[in-house]
Amino acid sequence: MSITDTERLNNLPILFDSLNLENLNEDARIAIAAIDAVLPQTQCGLCGHHDGCLPYAHGIVIHGEAINLCVPGGQAVSDQIANIAKQPKKPATPSKWATNPNTQRPIEVRAIIDETNCIGCTKCIPACPVDAIIGSAKQMHSIITDLCTGCELCLPACPVDCIDLSPHARTIDDNKRQHEEQHLRNRYHQHLHRVAKTIKTGSKPVVSTIESAMVNALNSSQSANIDETAAKNTIAAAKLRSKIKKITKQLALANNPSLQTTLEQLTQELAKLENHSTPPNKDTHG
């Protein structure tokens, strides 16, 4: 696809109606389409546009926003935008991840779920802009690595901090990268269309029926249904373990009597919860 092809600005999700793209002059549409085509389509919001890459492209062309705000795109994308916008090149906004010298982009990362601490709350599922997380309520969730963009949006959604990011080393050429980015853009738009539909109908956003059924089938032999009380205890225990883990790390760096006291209290609370959750021995004597 040519980067000057404005077809990518047609039939967009309702979220983008406010951009008024159909009423812009052709030069502006061409520039926006071209910039959107080189953005990585992570939909991470690190540029300040939490509604995705396209609004950032629109902001550059229409509102004169800085050309170097795409963090995951790094210097490579910043330079491409400079060429399209006919502006001087600027240093890219730095990432917390190291730069790959071969691509001039931050190294790729992927989200991973700590299976031992996942409580199956499903809060991370709607947070993913490309539907890379599958799972169902009270069952362990999984991330489809090939779809994950490393956007980090699932991290704050997790109430027990069981999601982390890990470097994902690989080498791909420009053609494959463009193909992946277009695929991710399509998935994001599908996600937005589905969310709009659920809002209109008042139904609850859900993961794909097929994916959900598959996860349930895989977990059915390992997990029993959790009743409401057990579910609450499981969530409370997971939160306590997360707090204990953080405090333990802090105490490993420096002694702190106050933190030590807090750690002991949390440990006692966790022990009580775990004892309460342990099923009593059945009376075999009738």
CATH number at residue 127: 3.30.70.20
- The two structure tokens encoding residue 62: 């229409």
Q: Count of CB atoms within 10 A of residue 256's CB?
A: 13
Q: What are phi and psi of 106, to 5 degrees?
A: -60, 150
Lowest mean pLDDT among 5-19, 96-110, 219-233: 219-233
Residue 84 located in a structural domain:
yes
What is the pLDDT averaged over residues 85-113? 95
Residues 161 and 205 in one domain: yes
Q: Are residues 170 and 201 in the same domain?
A: yes
The CB-based long-range contact list for 172-181 (8 Å cut-off, 24+ gap) reads 178/1, 178/37, 181/39, 181/40, 181/41
How confident is residue 229, by pLDDT bands cut at 50, 70 and 90? Answer: low
* pLDDT of 193 strictly over 90: no
Judgement on whether residues 119 and 132 belong to the same structural domain of the protein: yes
pTM: 0.70
Based on the domain organization, do 205 and 244 belong to the same domain?
A: no
Decide: 36 and 178 in contact? Cβ < 8 Å. no
Q: Which of 186, 201, 225 is the last residue of a domain?
A: 225
95 versus 219: the higher-pLDDT residue is 95
CB 61 within 8 A of CB 28: yes
Tell me, yes or no, whether 47 and 14 share the same domain: yes
Are 210 and 260 part of one and the same domain? no
Residue 120 contacts residue 141 (beta carbons within 8 Å): yes
More confident residue, 230 or 157: 157
| Together in a domain, 56 and 124 | no
Domain stops at, among 49, 75, 97 = 97
Give the count of domains, the chain. 3
Least confident stretch, 22-26, 145-149, 220-224: 220-224
pLDDT for position 284: 41
* Domain that residue 174 falls in: 108-225
- Asked if residue 282 belongs to a domain, the reply is no
Same domain, yes or no: 117 and 71: no
Q: Is residue 102 part of a domain?
A: no
Q: Looking at the domain assignment, is residue 241 inside a domain?
A: yes
Mean pLDDT, residues 12-38 taken together: 93
Whether residue 176 sits in one domain with residue 214:
yes
Four-CA torsion 262, 266, 269, 273, nearest 10 degrees: 170
Q: Among 66, 97, 128, which residue terminates a domain?
A: 97
Q: How confident is the model at residue 230 (pLDDT cuts 50, 70, 90)?
A: low
Q: Are 113 and 218 contained in the same domain?
A: yes
